[in-house]
């Protein structure tokens, strides 16, 4: 195992551990409205990313990368920025309204949603095991809807938004650092307008208090795992990243059940069992494909 491969695993682990423990951070801000948190998160992320690319001498590369994109690609990247904003906003709202388990469920089913999106939009085909994994996930969602009487809307929004975000990023040839910076820049105007509205209507919750102090770090907390993920993805195979990604929702699940004490009854357990079964089958399929790629003669 060479050094670059080891670094790739470490960077990926850092990214998914940070993402998995983010509910702890957002819960510190629960005295501030979730969409106000989102607006400040966007602005502070933009400031952090611009400062970072200037500090490491990547500003010219960023400008040149954007200039090379066609109008269609710029529109796709702009759309990606707003779609990931929906993902962020939903996640913050979910954490601050005691839906950490639904967030966990959403990120568990996200890879399966991505497979379906790839089939629809990229005309990719998948095997019988992947079909079975998707069917089990659908059964889990339907069981929760019918038996518990609660459609997992938070889970579906998180899975779909991140799935479409990945789909759009796949069709735009740009490095991760430039992409993240651009996404933050194009979504900042909307965030500023919303904050001005809150201040002029005296609805802002930001002031001289501890939640506001914690809010200052939201830009770095947003950007660091994204950068770490990008660094890891460049160094290890996508198939291995596919296994590591389940660290995030697993940590969220543990937090939801054992730290935030969210209700977790038999019916919810059955829902998760269907999802977990689908994920296990999906991982086995990925492992088999990974072995085939290493042994093309087999």
What does the pLDDT read at residue 68? 94
Q: What value does the mean pLDDT take over residues 122-129?
A: 81
Burial class of 189 by CB neighbour count within 10 A (0 to 12, 13 to 18, 19+): exposed
Q: What value does the mean pLDDT take over residues 97-113?
A: 92
Task: Using pLDDT thresholds of 50, 70 and 90, give the confidence band for residue 5.
Answer: confident
3-state SS of 91-142 is: HHHHHHCCCHHHHHHHHHHHHHHHHHHHHHHCCCCCCHHHHHHHHHHHHHHH
pLDDT at 291 over 80: no
Angle at 165 between CA 114 and CA 32, to 5 degrees: 120
Q: What value does the mean pLDDT take over residues 181-204?
A: 96
Residue 146 carries which DSSP code?
Answer: I
Task: Using pLDDT thresholds of 50, 70 and 90, give the confidence band for residue 298.
Answer: very low
What does the pLDDT read at residue 122? 79
What does the pLDDT read at residue 297? 43
Tens digit of each residue's pLDDT (9 = 90 or more) over 40-83: 999 999 999 999 999 999 999 999 999 999 999 999 999 999 99
Query: If residue 83 lies in a helix (H) or strand (E), which one and from where to where?
Result: helix 71-96
* Integer Cα distance of 155 and 113 in angstroms: 11
What does the pLDDT read at residue 295? 56
pLDDT at 290 over 80: no
What does the pLDDT read at residue 151? 87
Tens digit of each residue's pLDDT (9 = 90 or more) over 200-227: 999 999 988 888 999 999 999 998 998 8
Largest CA distance in the chain: 68
Q: What value does the mean pLDDT take over residues 272-297?
A: 81
pTM of the model: 0.89
What does the pLDDT read at residue 239? 63
Task: Using pLDDT thresholds of 50, 70 and 90, give the confidence band for residue 38.
Answer: very high
Q: What value does the mean pLDDT take over residues 151-155?
A: 92
Burial class of 290 by CB neighbour count within 10 A (0 to 12, 13 to 18, 19+): middle
């Amino acid at each position: 195992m060479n050094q670059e491969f080891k670094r790739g695993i470490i960077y990926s682990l850092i990214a998914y551990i940070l993402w998995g423990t983010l509910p702890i951070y957002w819960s510190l801000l629960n005295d501030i409205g979730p969409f106000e948190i989102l607006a400040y998160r966007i602005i502070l992320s933009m400031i952090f990313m611009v400062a970072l690319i200037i500090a490491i001498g990547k500003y010219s590369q960023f400008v040149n990368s954007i200039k090379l994109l066609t109008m269609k690609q710029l529109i796709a990247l702009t759309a990606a920025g707003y779609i990931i904003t929906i993902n962020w906003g939903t996640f913050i709202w979910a954490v601050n309204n005691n839906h950490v388990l639904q967030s966990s469920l959403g990120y568990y089913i996200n890879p399966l949603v991505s497979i379906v999106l790839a089939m629809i939009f990229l005309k990719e085909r998948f095997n019988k095991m992947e079909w079975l994994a998707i069917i089990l996930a659908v059964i889990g969602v339907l069981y929760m809807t019918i038996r518990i009487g609660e459609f997992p809307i938070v889970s579906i929004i998180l899975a779909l938004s991140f799935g479409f975000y990945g789909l759009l990023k796949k069709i735009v040839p740009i490095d991760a650092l430039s992409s993240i910076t651009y996404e933050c820049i194009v979504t900042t105007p909307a965030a500023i307008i919303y904050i001005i509205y809150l201040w002029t209507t005296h609805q802002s919750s930001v002031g001289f208090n501890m939640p506001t102090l914690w809010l200052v770090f939201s830009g770095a907390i947003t950007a660091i795992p994204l950068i770490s993920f990008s660094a890891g993805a460049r160094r290890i195979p996508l198939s291995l990243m596919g296994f590591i990604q389940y660290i995030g929702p697993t940590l969220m699940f543990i937090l939801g059940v054992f730290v935030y004490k969210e209700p977790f009854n038999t019916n919810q357990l059955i829902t998760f069992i269907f999802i977990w079964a689908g994920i296990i089958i999906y991982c086995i399929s990925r492992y088999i494909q990974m072995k085939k790629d290493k042994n093309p003669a087999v």
